[in-house]
Each structure stands twice: as C-alpha cells, then as structure tokens.
Structure 1
Amino acid sequence: MARARSVLTWRPPAPADVPLASERARAVLADPQGFGNYMTYRDAYRILGWDPADVYRDGAIALDRAEWADLGWMANHIGPSPRALDAMRGAVDAEHVGPYSPDLDEPLRDLMATRLLGRARDDGFDVIGTEGAQAGVGYAALACIDPGDEVIVTDPGYFHFVPALRLAGGVPVWVDLAASSGWRLDPDAVAAALTPRTKMIVVCDPVNPFGTVQRRDELDALLALSEEHGIVILADTTHSSHRVDPAARHHPVADVQRGRPGATLLVSSGLAHGHGMAGARIGALGGDPALVRACLQVKIAAVRLNTNRVAQVGAAAALVDDAWLRGGEEVIRGNLARLRAIATPVIDPSYGFSCVVDVSGTGASAQELTVALCARHIAVYPGDGLGDVGATTTIRVNLSDPDPSALERLAGAWDDACAEAASGVYREAVRDLFLSYGTARGRRIADVVAAGTGR
C-alpha cells in the first residue's frame, strides 16, 4: 500500500503539460513565487536523498518539532490563546456547526475593524470576513484588477502576493527594498514606477520578510499617490500584532487614510500569525465600503461560503487577549537575542516573528546552507522565494518557538553547517534544481550557485 504523501512534496506541472489550463492557471504555474517554484526544505530533502513521505508522516504538512527546529515555515509556534481554544471548544455544538454561518457576526466585525485593522467601522470604512489574510488579498485582486493592469510590489516580498495578482491577470512591477531605505517601501521609488497602466500598489506593513514598519509620512505619501492617480492601495498588515522593538510604532494604514478620504484603500489581515490560529482560517478585509462589498460579491462567486462559526468565536476571544500577545513578544525578543549570538548580520525586526539573516559571508549560497541545516534537522527558508534581492544571500528565520531547544540546535549546528555548505558538497545538486525550473530566473540563480561565491 502506497504511503500518504504531503502536498508539500508536490512539484507543479509545466504549463505545457496541462494543455486545457487557462492562461491564468498557466501564469501561476510558471511564476517563480508560485507554489513549488522556489526552493524550500522539501527540495533539500530530495538533495539529501530523503523521501519526503518519511518526513511528512500520514500526509501532515508540519514538521515534528520534537525532531526538528522549524525556523522556516511561517506558523506561529507560540500557538493560540488558551481563551480562544476554550471558546471554540464551547462552540462545538449544533447551533454553531449545523447552520451556514454569517460572513462575520456583527460584534466580531467591529472587533476585526478596531483590533485587527486599526480603524472603527464608519461611512468610509467597512469590513468583511475572509479565510485568512491571503484570501483577502485574492479577493481584492480579483475585484480590482483587469488583465494587463500593473501592480507595484516589493522585492523581496511575501511569497504569495504575485501569484494572486497573476491569477487576476495583473502584471507585477517590482520596487526593490534596500538598506538605504531602511528596508521599507520608498514612496519616491513607487512614484517613479507608476505608468498609465498602474492599478494597484501592494503595501505589506510590517514588511515581510524584514519586520520593518512604514513611517506614518510614508503611508500618507503612498495614499496621496492613490488620490492623485486613482490607484488602489492594497495593504497587508498580518505581522502587526507582536511589537519586537519596544521603541517602534506601527501606524495602521486604515487610520492614516482618514486624512486622505480621496484615497482608495483595501487592507487585509488575519489571525494566523499574530494569534497562532492559522488552522482556523479566519481574517478580515476592510476599506472603502462599496469596494469591500464588491470583494464580498467576488468571494460569494468564487467560494460561496463564509468563515466558519466556531473560528469566529475563537477569533473574538483571541482579539481581546492582550496578555497572550505580550507574552508572545517576550518569546520573540528572547529568540532574536539568541539568534544574534549565533549568526550575523541579522536585520533586526520591529514587528512580527521572523527576521532576515545575511549569509553572504559564509562562502556558500543560502540554498546550500539550507540543505546543510536540513541535514541537521533545522529548517530555514532561503531568499529566492521572496524575490531577486537577496535571493542567494539571505535566509528567513522564524523566531516564535517558545522551546529554547530550537535556537540551541541552531547554535550547535551553525558553524559546521556553514563549513559544509561552503565546501561545495551540495553545489551541483542545488544548481541542477534551479536549472530544472526551466526559467531564465532559475538559470541566473543556478549560475550564481555554480560560481561558488554565494552571490
């Protein structure tokens, strides 16, 4: 009998192998940030000669943290508030499970607005429920973008913005993030990238992967571009729950938009990252009431169903458990301090639970180091999935595990893993992986890896 295999072991088919697929599906299959088209540790398993089914047992998609230090996958290892779990247990009854659920019940809609999105509902701002922040991004893209419309996104940036935009027919236009701009989106660079085809600007704040936050004046400048040019600002504020730097301040873009009523804003967030409820699949999309309702109509057309009622009860409890969030911040700060003692340089985050480590000084590519760490049961993400900037010189590290053994395992393995990666033992296999993608970008990264400099 064949063993169950995890979806994380799949590779996407080549567009040519799916002749009846739509152009939208072909665009997603071919996109470097589409699922399966960037290197992750599931590729490292193959390079190490492991069967992924031995790692992801019984079709699971999470690593066993008793055996692994999972510093890669963006699940919040702190977990959900006990108050949220208790509330959901109490809601597992016929009243909550049997009927179709509302989009959001009204008390939760208000909580989502104020606690998650940063602005109370009013004549200029309303909220709908979504199946996590990513669903909000997808509905916004489908509701706003026509084929050929240009969308400004950051490089590097969150893995799954661009595939959602391509699914709607959008054309991504990248604006690089750099140390010179504090690893934030520079409004002047955005203005320089505008064309008559620009329809949307994606603002991820706090920035994934860096955990940096936009200044209030920068948000206002981006909203001014929306006013002046008739452009939609699509903001994702998923990582705004945990403040890592006590001196930092996140400015909810929905609140800033009060001073720019002519700007068009949609803002998406969820309870996966800040509240440890990824499996509950619940979030919210807020903004201009008419446009938000258009997004709801798109959602109804696509999936018809609403966020589940048990998750809504849990979300309501989680959103008011401030003590649980503050405890999580202490975990993240402690792990960041441990990481700084292991690997440098670290780009310090202001918010969120992840950060970026510059590994250009190791003498190996981020991808070779990923394999070497995987061999030691330590998972990290290399930079190529996040964009071209830092593709072979950075790794993203999850700081949310409350078990100190995760960072202890990294500390014990770091020097040996760096030396093994720099030896070139994995170089040919990593190069061949990127050549197998059959893309110009894959060939560029393969050339960098083959050169043996890591950059």
Structure 2
Amino acid sequence: MTTKTSYIAQSVKNLKPSGIRKFFDLAANMEGVISLGVGEPDFITSWTVREAAILSLEQGYTSYTANAGLLELREKIARYMKDGYSVDYDPKTEIIVTVGASQALDISMRAIIDQGDEVIIVEPGFVSYVPLVQLAGGVPVTVETKPENGFKVTAEELEAAITSKTKAVLLCSPNNPTGTVLERGNLESLAEVIRKHDLVVFSDEIYAELAYDSHHVSIASLEDMRKRTIVINGFSKGFAMTGWRLGYICAPEEIASSLLKIHQYAMMCASTPAQYAAVEALDKGMDDVMEMKRSYRHRRHYFVDSLNELGLTCHTPGGAFYAFPSIQKTGMSSGEFAEKLLMEEKVAVVPGNVFGKGGEGFIRCSYASSMEQLQEAVKRMKRFVENHS
C-alpha cells in the first residue's frame, strides 16, 4: 500500500502566507508598540448600529435570512448605490449580501474565472488578489504602477498587458495600499480599453466612502460598463464595522445569479444580526461616516506632511487611510526597514513588497490611529531615519 506524502492540495501548498500577518504577529508580542499596520478604522461602530443588532437578538431574529440577504437591506443598498454612485440595481436579483468584501471577491472570481484565464491586477494591490485568482484556477497578470504617476494605471499600461487569454481586470479605488483614487477621467480611459477587449471588471470599492478630494466614481456608472462590472463593497471601512464581516456584491442579473449559487453552497447567508445592523447603518449612520471622514482627512494632512519632512517622499493619498512613503533613501529593502523600525523604535508598518513587486522601496502606514499615536510614531520614525541616514 502506497502512503501519500501529503494530503494538501497543490494549489494551497503554492500559496504564500500573508506578508501582513508576519508583522502583526511580531508586534502582538511586544509591549509599547504603535501599530500603523492594521487596515481598520480606530472608531467603534456607531451606537445606533450596535443597538439595532442587539434589538434584533432581543426580538428573536436568529434564523437564516434569504441566501441573498434581507430584502430590506438589499433595497437600502440599491438606494445607496443609486443616490451615491448613479448606478441602478434590482435589489431582488442583482444584489447579494456577503460575509465581508473578502467573500464577495472570492465568489466573484470563482464564478467568472475558468482554468487558465488571465486576470490583470494593478499593483501595488491588496495581498489577497493574486492568491484568490490562483485558487480560482486563473493566472494573475500584474501591472506595476509608478509613483511619479500617483500609482494610477494608464490605459496604455492596461492594454499592453492584455492577451488572447485575458478575461478580467481587477481595479481597486480608493486603493489599498497607496490610497490612490481613480477619478472619472482615469476610469473613462480604462473603460474604453475594457470595452474594446470585452473584459469583465472586478471593482473593489470597499473604501468608496473614504475619498477625500473628489466624489467616488464607480466604473459601473460609465457607459456600457454596468453589464460587465462586478462591484464589491461592504461596511467594514466606511462604517467602522470590520468585525461584523458584512459585504455585498452588485452585478447584472446573469452574473449575480451565478454568484448566488456559489454563495448558497459555501456560506448560506451572512449573519442575521449583522444585516439588521447594516440596515440601521444605511438608514441613520451617514453622519458618523462623515465625521470619521473629516477626522481621517485631518490626520492625512498631518501624517503625509510629516513623512515628507522626514525625507520619506509620499504622495498625497486621495482616499482610504493609508500613506505609502518611499524609504529608498535609507538604502534598506522594505522588509528590512519595517523589521528594524519595529525592533528599534516599536513602530509597526507593512513592507510595501507584500503588495507586489512595485511596492518594493515603500512601506504602508495606516493613519487610522489617534493623533497622539501618529505624533509619537513620527517622533520615533524621525529618530530611526536619522540613525540610519
């Protein structure tokens, strides 16, 4: 009898562990660390939103919802998308409530990608994009953006990456980790290429509420783009609901019905109390969202200006809550800089290379921390840079 050396699927064996987790785990075992690495708001979910979840439990709403989510929530998402981003979706057939935007990305890729299909991913980009394409059987094709262009992908760069095997493009605006926002003009030029080659778009818009200098534009709102776009969004970032794990997908009915099949088998439905909380968030939580946004904008100006004064050149992020400064003047790699900064000054950041090759020479710093922590972090980083100049 032959014994197998491993029962683990090859596709999983080939996956690299998340580069972000390494630094979180190191920082978790150290006292006095200021963490600029965590990609979540430092605000607590609004009380009225928490109260709505509590009330749903007190009233006994503990059963499954429809697979696609509470119709009331889907109706509010539809209104939110129409009023905020000028895209119409049928709440009964074109919106699915998911367990976070991460699950939304996963099932979207599994529904669209066939074995060997190429998916163009703009980098620097979120760490899960490449692995999710690979797990779906696809081939990730990365396009590196340039700091001198504000990390915006151009139509020419996109077109140069397209082959006969290309099926989809993944865009994230506002971007994690760079904070780059693709404005209407940028999106129009990209949409022209996408239409020309008849591609699908995975549009990660999880930071849509956190665009500071211009109103967020969904690529689905552009001419002839709704039918080929899967919009992925959620409540984690803009509504400070990371632990609630609630996201959603908006897509044309033909695509949404296929996504729903996967969601039915893999997840059944999202948490019922979390869905009732999200109804309240869309109903009465926008004032709190705006207050958080004002606070992030203020912190952004302070932190980005401070990084530039330290000689860590940093473009002004148009959205999200990340700064992506260059550390090339130090002569260190991204990983070396992040590790030494943590060990010597107890400031945790994320090395840029975990977001793709184009991220080497940069670090990601979250400014979703209090001003006091940001000010202390700047003092420590100043001392570190001076010691290594």
TM-score computed with the length of structure 1 as normaliser = 0.76
Among residues 309, 315, 319, which one is paired with 2:278 in the alignment?
315
Gaps of 5+ in 2: none
- Any conservation in 2 of the 1:124–1:287 contact (CA below 8 Å)? no
Q: Counterparts of 1:125 and 1:310 in 2: how far apart (Å)?
A: 22
Paired residue type of 1:255: S
- Any conservation in 2 of the 1:149–1:171 contact (CA below 8 Å)? yes
Distance 1:229 1:262, change over 3 A: farther
Q: Counterparts of 1:207 and 1:340 in 2: how far apart (Å)?
A: 16
3-state DSSP class of the match of 1:139? helix
Q: Counterparts of 1:273 and 1:131 in 2: how far apart (Å)?
A: 14
3-state DSSP class of the match of 1:312? helix
- Any conservation in 2 of the 1:154–1:174 contact (CA below 8 Å)? yes
Equivalence map 1:392-407=2 (5 Å) = 393-401=361-369, 403-407=370-374
Aligned counterpart, 2:228: 264
Aligned counterpart, 1:442: none
Among residues 3, 23, 26, which one is paired with 2:13 in the alignment?
26
- Displacement, 1:18? 7.2
Paired residue type of 2:48: R
Q: CA RMSD in A?
A: 2.5
- Any conservation in 1 of the 2:174–2:211 contact (CA below 8 Å)? no
- Any conservation in 2 of the 1:185–1:203 contact (CA below 8 Å)? no
- Any conservation in 1 of the 2:150–2:315 contact (CA below 8 Å)? no
- Any conservation in 2 of the 1:219–1:253 contact (CA below 8 Å)? yes
Equivalence map 1:275-314=2 (5 Å) = 275-303=239-267, 305-314=268-277
Name whichever of 180-189 and 294-303 sits farther off. Answer: 180-189
- Any conservation in 2 of the 1:226–1:263 contact (CA below 8 Å)? no
3-state DSSP class of the match of 1:175? strand
Q: Counterparts of 1:113 and 1:308 in 2: how far apart (Å)?
A: 20
3-state DSSP class of the match of 2:171? strand
Q: Counterparts of 1:286 and 1:389 in 2: how far apart (Å)?
A: 30
- Displacement, 1:377? 3.0
Q: Counterparts of 2:226 and 2:64 in 1: how far apart (Å)?
A: 37
Q: Counterparts of 2:351 and 2:382 in 1: how far apart (Å)?
A: 17
Among residues 35, 39, 43, which one is paired with 1:70 in the alignment?
35
Aligned length in residues: 376
Q: Counterparts of 2:18 and 2:320 in 1: how far apart (Å)?
A: 25
3-state DSSP class of the match of 2:177? coil
Aligned counterpart, 1:174: 142
Q: Counterparts of 1:18 and 1:318 in 2: how far apart (Å)?
A: 50
Deviations 1:200-238 (A, max 9, x none): 100111122222221324323433444333321110001
Deviations 1:48-80 (A, max 9, x none): xxxx6x45xxxxxxxx9xx43221110111232
- Any conservation in 1 of the 2:300–2:321 contact (CA below 8 Å)? no
- Displacement, 1:124? 12
- Displacement, 1:139? 0.3
Where relative contact order (Cα < 8 A, 6+ residues apart) is larger, the structure is 2
- Displacement, 1:122? 4.0
| 2:357 pairs with 1:388 | yes
Q: Percent identity?
A: 24
Q: Counterparts of 1:415 and 1:176 in 2: how far apart (Å)?
A: 29
- Displacement, 1:125? 7.9
- Displacement, 1:281? 0.6
3-state DSSP class of the match of 2:140? strand
- Displacement, 1:81? 2.0
Q: Counterparts of 1:26 and 1:202 in 2: how far apart (Å)?
A: 24
Distance 1:194 1:69, change over 3 A: same
Among residues 356, 379, 387, which one is paired with 1:412 in the alignment?
379
Q: Counterparts of 2:125 and 2:135 in 1: how far apart (Å)?
A: 17
Distance 1:205 1:20, change over 3 A: same
- Displacement, 1:263? 4.6
Gaps of 5+ in 1: 1-16, 46-51, 56-63, 424-455
